[in-house]
Amino acid sequence: MKQVLLIIITIFVTTFSFAQNTDDIRLAFSYYNNREYDKASYLFDKIYNQTKSRSYFNYYLECLINIQDFEKAEKSAKKAVAANKTDLCYKILLGRVYKRQSQYEKSNQVFDEVIAEMPADKNKIVQISYQFLQISEPNYAEKVLEKGKSLVNDNFSQELFTVYASARNFQKMAEVGLDLLEEDQSKLSHVQSMFQYNITSDVNDEFYDILRLALLQRIQKNPTTSFSQLLIWLFVQKQNFKSALIQAKALDKRLNESGQRVISLGDDALQAKDYESAAACYKYVLEKGNSSPYYNRAQFGIITSMYEQVLDGTISTPEEIAYLESQYDKTFQEFGINGKTINEVKNYARLETYYLNKPEKAKELIEKALTLPGLNYLQKAQLNLELGDIELFMDDVWGATMTYAKVENDNKQNEYGDEAKFRKAKIAFYTGNFKWAQSQLDVLKAATSKLVANDAMELCLIISDNAERSNPMSGDTAVTSDENISTSVDLRIYARAHLYSTQNQYEKSVASLDSIITEFPTSGLVDEAYFLKAQICEKQRDWEKAAEYYKKVADDYSFDVLADKASYYFAEICNLRLDNKELAKEYYMKILTDYPGSVFAVDSREKYRSLSAQ
């Protein structure tokens, strides 16, 4: 019984001490961050004496240095060195006390003693090097690792790379990474990960240029496969696909490959919207003939590249689009429709529906694809969503609703079910069934897909902000004022305009939107009307008019829900279509300052930095 009681007391005391320590640590860092170093030093000293953790001793010394109590700092450091003779990191901290007093001769003497006393222990060598880095002494950190090479059987490549990165010594960073790869070609992925951060964060391309030249020199002396692969990877990091293709083709021929490397590069170029390079990659593989296992993929790659250019507006004439249609027909005749070409089938159906106004042909194509054996439930969901869109385009509202309902019912546990539910809710919105639409959208606010959740929230706000006072939504049959009637009317006009836009009936859509702007000037839907007009102008490739409408929403309705979205779209058009980089920068920055919580904030920050660096 006494033993049990003793164990309980021990556990209680230990738990209490741990809780007290945690509170002290939290308070110590709070004082430290608020620069109340005197208060923080007392707590860090107390915590160190309880835990004997060098990390807290480091903070304790830092506090003493900041309040310029160098005498106490030196005395404490010397005492810690004497008590921890096997841990040379304490000696480094003593050297730092001297350095902060500008006693450089003393500090260098202590640092040199540390290097002289280093044990032949890899972990301790790395620890000592890291401690030097912590006190901003990269030269001594490098000396530690260089001496460490002679003490243990290790070249410390990763640690040296970190030291050189800390000192921004790009030349040595490049050399140590390439040395590692030359010693062991299997470490290509590891070396790439070493270089990755420094390449992406190097806005002036200084490290990129040094690494590229160093790589080219290595390839001339030692043309290994790994160096060529690294050079291709390096070019892709900066989206220099033309140079990457030259290297990829050379490597493909040297190794007598089947085109896999080149076709993967084509896919990367296509994703980056470098259509010319993507097409060059696919054509190279096609030239290998149909004996290549990637022949089919290359053929579909070329037409996918053309399709993406249609979406992007690069290909826009009726003749060009008709030519793409003929290429789709030819390709499907040659390779057929199967489970591997579902994405191409969907793209072709969209081309026929929205760009060639042939929804019947598109519907027939999708229905044929749905009869393919072996389709998984996700492929069926994708095709049925496409079918519902085509039916809606054809104004078969009932058919579209039933198709979406089928997808929703078959996919209750995945994002396709949410997407189908959202499209059903939009149909209810288009047809004026606002109450039912809102009930569905309320559920979708918690959808797994962030995109669906955001779109649902946006449409839900449109309904609640503009129909909440109207008779049909409130259920209050006693309310019949003109204000309530007009609120309901403008929302119905707007919903119908949205449907017209979805069906490419742009003249009808714009006419409806203009009626809202002129007949209901105080309506909460005026900014929505301008925004939808901007989107229609984008579809029609009228970039200047689209920019004008987006800017109006961003400037005149900066208080409303669409302001951040309009600002971002305006900045994008200025950046990518109108070549007005300064205005683009201004509106990217507007999102960061005025709408920091916007879903467009992260992308705006990256694009602002990119434009600023140009």
Q: For residue 272, how many C-alpha atoms fall within 13 Å in the half-sphere facing its CB?
A: 19
Per cent of the chain over pLDDT 90 is 73
Distance separating alpha carbons of residues 470 and 491, to the nearest angstrom:
10
Q: Determine which of 70-79, 183-192, 422-431, 463-472 has the lowest per-residue pLDDT on average.
A: 463-472
pLDDT digits 0-9 by tens, 530-573? 999 999 999 999 999 999 999 999 999 999 889 999 999 999 99
In angstroms, what CA-CA distances link 81 with 117, 131, 137, 568?
13, 15, 19, 58
Q: Which of 370, 422, 371 is nearest to 401 (CA)?
A: 422
Whether 582 has a pLDDT exceeding 60, the answer reads yes
Q: Tell me, what's the pLDDT at 21? A: 67
504: left (phi over 0), alpha (psi -120 to 50) or beta: left
- DSSP, residue by residue, 501-563: HHTT-HHHHHHHHHHHHHH-TT-TTHHHHHHHHHHHHHHTT-HHHHHHHHHHHHHHTTTSTTH
Distance separating alpha carbons of residues 89 and 61, to the nearest angstrom:
13
pLDDT digits 0-9 by tens, 376-406? 999 999 999 999 999 999 999 999 999 999 9
Q: Determine which of 74-83, 199-208, 417-426, 555-564 has the lowest per-residue pLDDT on average.
A: 199-208
In a 3-state reduction of DSSP, which class is residue 395?
A: coil
What is the end-to-end Cα distance of the chain in Å, rounded? 77
Radius of gyration of the chain (CA): 33
Distance separating alpha carbons of residues 297 and 369, to the nearest angstrom:
19
pLDDT digits 0-9 by tens, 63-104? 999 999 999 999 998 999 999 989 999 999 999 999 999 999
Distance separating alpha carbons of residues 612 and 610, to the nearest angstrom:
5
Q: Which two tokens stand for residue 349?
A: 């159906």
User: The dihedral of CA 454, 456, 459, 462: what is its sign?
Assistant: negative
In angstroms, what CA-CA distances link 425 with 276, 456, 609?
40, 9, 39
Q: Quick one: 87 exposed, middle or buried, by C-beta within 10 A (0-12, 13-18, 19+)?
A: middle
The amino acid that residue 269 corresponds to is: A
Mutual orientation of helices 601-613 and 581-594 as an angle, nearest 10°?
Answer: 140
Q: Which of 87, 153, 143, 142 is nearest to 120 (CA)?
A: 153
Q: Which residues contact 516 (CB under 8 A, 6 or more apart)?
A: 490, 493, 494, 497, 523, 525, 526, 529
Distance separating alpha carbons of residues 500 and 512, to the nearest angstrom:
9
Give alpha helix (H) positions in 170-240: 170-183, 188-200, 206-221, 225-237
Distance separating alpha carbons of residues 248 and 234, to the nearest angstrom:
12
Per cent of the chain over pLDDT 70 is 93
The amino acid that residue 503 corresponds to is: Q
Confidence band for 450, pLDDT divided at 50, 70 and 90: confident
SS3 content of the chain, % helix, strand, coil (to 5): 80, 0, 20
Distance separating alpha carbons of residues 77 and 87, to the nearest angstrom:
12
C-beta of residue 252 within 8 angstroms of C-beta of residue 261: yes
User: The dihedral of CA 124, 126, 127, 129: what is its sign?
Assistant: positive
Q: Which two tokens stand for residue 420?
A: 């189908």
C-beta of residue 541 within 8 angstroms of C-beta of residue 316: yes
Q: Tell me, what's the pLDDT at 22? A: 77
- Which residue reads 């305006």 in tokens? 570
- Which residue reads 């050297």 in tokens? 95
pLDDT digits 0-9 by tens, 238-265? 999 999 999 999 999 999 988 999 999 9
Q: For residue 371, how many C-alpha atoms fall within 13 Å in the half-sphere facing its CB?
A: 5
Q: Tell me, what's the pLDDT at 468? A: 54
Q: Report DSSP state, residue 524.
A: T
More confident residue, 496 or 155: 496
Average pLDDT, the chain: 89
* Domains of the chain: residue spans and CATH: 411-521 (no CATH), 525-614 (1.25.40.10)
Confidence band for 500, pLDDT divided at 50, 70 and 90: very high
* Chain centroid offset of residue 387 CA: 31
Q: Which residues contact 297 (CB under 8 A, 6 or more apart)?
A: 263, 285
Distance separating alpha carbons of residues 404 and 570, to the nearest angstrom:
33
Whether 6 has a pLDDT exceeding 70, the answer reads no
C-beta of residue 506 within 8 angstroms of C-beta of residue 525: no
